[in-house]
Amino acid sequence: MPKLRLALACAMFLAAAPAALAQDTQRLRTDKVEVIVETLARNLQNPWSLVFLPDERMLVTERPGRLRIVNTDGTLSEPIRGLPGVSAGGQGGLLDVALDPDFARNRVVYLSFSEDRGDGQNGTSVARGRLSDDGTALEDVQVVFRQEPSYKGTQHFGSRLVFDRDGNLFVTLGERNDLRDQAQNLGNHLGKIVRIKPAGGAASGNPFLNREDARPEIWSYGHRNVQAAALHPATGELWTAEHGARGGDEVNIPRKGRNYGWPVISYGVHYSGQAIGEGTRKPGMEQPVYYWDPSIAPSGMTFYTGDKFPAWRGSILVGALAGKLVSRLEIDGDRVTGEERMLQGLGERIRDVRQGPDGLIYLLTDSPKGRILRMRPAT
């Protein structure tokens, strides 16, 4: 009888194994390639961003205010000590993470986060610090940028961090929702993309350095809530995707000093159904490169340059929260020429999309039990 019970137990285990495996691995078909999406790490609380370290481990932010190292086998470190104070709530918390271009030498890490400014006020800030040699702490942490003005709210903080080819830092900033009209006011940082020096302060070459009525850090304005940004691998220009209201999510190429229209023009409507601003076009305001209506809620993007998915080379991959998908945009110069909506079978809110050093695609799922997913070709 003991042998029979052992045999039955083994049979039950083997029968259950495929079902357990199916929870962690899915085979999905796209227009050009069949892919396998597998779970690399789990039990992250609303992960927001990831970046690869030189040794191919990852730094991952969790919105409640934790930063962890994820090993190549998917195991998580304890939270890294020494982070700045994070005001977590609603859409706020610990947001983006980026490595200094000279990280291999200086081990400097940049973080964007919603910062408590006192009296219930908060705002998007950027801090930098040195990752200790053992990877357990951030040292010499300094805040190098604070969005002004502060505001008492929990929405539309942005924010993505992207270094340009000159070593300056783009920071995307939301307009805090209730203050949407301020996206047209050059006297503040609301609804703007700013470009700063690594240690803080306006970068040289910014468009409004010599205007007394404008913030010198501003690069472009008239944005709503940009949560996706990446440099074009050939041109070095910044491309972004930002949230519209009900419809009107946009892909833009934010150029120096230009006005991207929010909330005067939009391809969406307010959540109430009322019209936004003055329509879809106005002289002096830029048109999007591409827009989604209805909204997909874009968050996280990367230009694919690897060799694992040759049919996707040159495409932009954009995550979607409300859409629960990855949008693959085919581009020709400054134009989007086609879209493929992928991975809808996952049923997951996709917060970030990154290309790994191995040429595979890594995704973050926005959930209290969030995962890191890895996408690879099925063959």
Task: List pLDDT tens digits, range 23-80.
Answer: 589 999 999 899 999 999 999 999 999 999 999 999 999 999 999 999 999 999 999 9
Lowest mean pLDDT among 14-18, 121-125, 215-219: 14-18
Judged against a pLDDT cut of 60, whether residue 275 lies above it is answered with: yes
Judged against a pLDDT cut of 60, whether residue 12 lies above it is answered with: no
Confidence of residue 379 (pLDDT cuts 50, 70, 90): confident
pTM of the entire structure?
A: 0.93
Confidence of residue 10 (pLDDT cuts 50, 70, 90): very low
Lowest mean pLDDT among 2-16, 29-43, 118-132, 344-358: 2-16
For residue 341, how many other CB atoms are within 10 A of its CB? 15
- Say what the pLDDT of residue 24 is: 86
State mean pLDDT over 279-293: 98
| Percentage of the chain exceeding pLDDT 70 | 94
Residues 6+ apart with CB under 8 A from 12: none
Kindly name the residue from 156, 189, 223, 243 that is annotated as catalytic: 156
- Say what the pLDDT of residue 23 is: 54
Judged against a pLDDT cut of 80, whether residue 184 lies above it is answered with: yes
Q: Alpha helices of the chain — where are they, by DSSP H?
A: 2-24, 103-106
- Say what the pLDDT of residue 18 is: 34
Mean per-residue pLDDT over the chain, rounded: 94
> For this structure, is 189 an active site residue?
no
Residues 267 and 291 sit within 8 Å (Cβ to Cβ): yes
Phi and psi of 85, rounded to 5°? -65, 130
Q: Among 36, 28, 78, which residue's Cα sits nearest to residue 373? A: 36
- Say what the pLDDT of residue 319 is: 98
* Phi-psi domain of 265 (left: phi exceeds 0; alpha: psi -120 through 50; beta: other): beta
State mean pLDDT over 132-147: 98
State mean pLDDT over 205-215: 96
